[in-house]
Structure 1
Amino acid sequence: MNLTLLLSFVGLCLLLAVTPGPDSFLVLRYSVVGIRPGVAAAVGSALGGIIWAVVVAAGLAALLEQSATAYRALKLVGGIYLVYLGVRALLEHRKQTKATEAVEPVVASTRSAFIAGVLSCMFNPKVGLFYLAVLPQFLTEVTFVNTLSLGAIECLIAGMVMVALAFAASRAVVMLQRPKVTAWLGRISAGILAALGLGTIASVGSSA
């Protein structure tokens, strides 16, 4: 792969990374809780992308492209998981608003945020299909190493952008110092996650 193709690919990755999607809303949701959960969700999502890159590089993701049933099944699971994350986040906020000042508020651990990031990305078949369809366009020679290298570059760029988003969102919450604003941001991001999940489930039903 020459320098021109590499720069073009990096530009495309940057454009995709700043485009809002399930992973970025997930990072925003955890960043409202704290900077560590937000960064953990971002790192987890990036790791999920690397797993997809390995799968695509090994040629296994071609099964998703050839099997409409496998694609719909994985997409359905991903949609259900997003709805679960959104509903769980809304329930956590309800618990926080009912808690007294003497009770420690419900918070998300870095481990749960990391796992949520990994699963959110892994249950999104569009990531695998993107790698499968786009990566070869930027390779002069399609090999396991070359494909995995581009996948790793995309994951690194996406991870850095989402970590920056986590820091920005967490910093904004700290600067505002308004619990009501924090709560509303959490509800909005949770609602968006649930809406994205419902939309994914609906699209599976309409395409069946």
Structure 2
Amino acid sequence: MSISLLLSFIGLCVLLSVTPGPDTFLVLKFAVAGRRPAIAAAFGSSLGGLVWAVVVAAGVAALLEQSATAYRTLKVIGGIYLVYLGIRALLAHRKSRRESESSLDSEITRAHESSVRSAFAAGLLSCIFNPKVGLFYLAVLPQFLTHVTFANTLTLGAIESTIAASEMVLVALAASRAVALLRNPRMRARLEQASAAILAALGIGTAASAA
């Protein structure tokens, strides 16, 4: 692959990374809990992209392009998972409102410690259950390769995942800092509700579009 093709691919990845999607809103959701969960969600999502790159490099993603049933099934599963994340966030918000101010602070502290792993898993599963990522790799990566091999395809996938991870980490840092400056309970509640509602809406739209 020539330098010009590589630079063109990097430019495309940068442009696409600044376009908000389900993974970005997922990072924003966990940013309400803290910086570490948000960063964990970002890395989980980027690892999911790398998994898709491996799948595409191995040729398995071609099945999704040729089988409408397989594509719709995976899309519905991904949509349901996003809805689940949104509903779970709303239920957690309602539960926290019943706590006193002191117990809420301790609950937030425990959430910071325990949600890193779940945030990483949420980011990973959200990306893996999004077949558009695989189809993007399948359609775009060969355009920037003079010789389509497993190693070359995986290299481009790793580059795209790294760029996406960098962008989402910046979003996580900015969002968590903004949340830290806005510790007003009412504002925090609205942020949680908004992020949960957006995730649920994205999940419903993803599942509905598979019909």
**Which category describes the TM-score, using the shorter chain as reference length?**
over 0.9
Report how many aligned residue pairs link the two structures.
205
Match of 1:45 in 2: 45
Choose from 174, 190, 195 the match for 1:184: 190
TM-score by length of 1: 0.96
Partner-residue secondary structure (3-state), 2:101: coil
Following TM superposition, by how much is the alpha carbon of 1:173 offset from its aligned partner in structure 2, in angstroms?
1.0
5+ long unaligned stretches in structure 1: none
Match of 1:153 in 2: 159
Cα RMSD (Å): 1.0
Following TM superposition, by how much is the alpha carbon of 1:176 offset from its aligned partner in structure 2, in angstroms?
2.3
| Structure 1 segments (4+ residues) deviating >6 Å | none
Match of 1:71 in 2: 71
Match of 1:143 in 2: 149
Following TM superposition, by how much is the alpha carbon of 1:171 offset from its aligned partner in structure 2, in angstroms?
0.4
Match of 1:105 in 2: 107
Alignment of 1:1-208 (within 5 A): 1-103=1-103, 104-105=106-107, 107=111, 109-205=115-211
Following TM superposition, by how much is the alpha carbon of 1:179 offset from its aligned partner in structure 2, in angstroms?
2.3
Percent identity of paired positions between Structure 1 and Structure 2: 67
Paired with 2:6 and 2:185, the residues of 1 have a C-alpha distance of 44
Following TM superposition, by how much is the alpha carbon of 1:101 offset from its aligned partner in structure 2, in angstroms?
2.3
Paired with 1:177 and 1:84, the residues of 2 have a C-alpha distance of 26
Residues 4-38 of structure 1: per-residue CA shift (max 9 Å, x gap) = 11111111111111101000000000011100000
Paired with 1:17 and 1:187, the residues of 2 have a C-alpha distance of 25
The aligned amino acid for 1:70 is: A
Paired with 1:44 and 1:90, the residues of 2 have a C-alpha distance of 22
Following TM superposition, by how much is the alpha carbon of 1:177 offset from its aligned partner in structure 2, in angstroms?
2.7
Residues 79-136 of structure 1: per-residue CA shift (max 9 Å, x gap) = 0000000000011111111111242325261000000000000000000000000000
Paired with 1:125 and 1:178, the residues of 2 have a C-alpha distance of 38
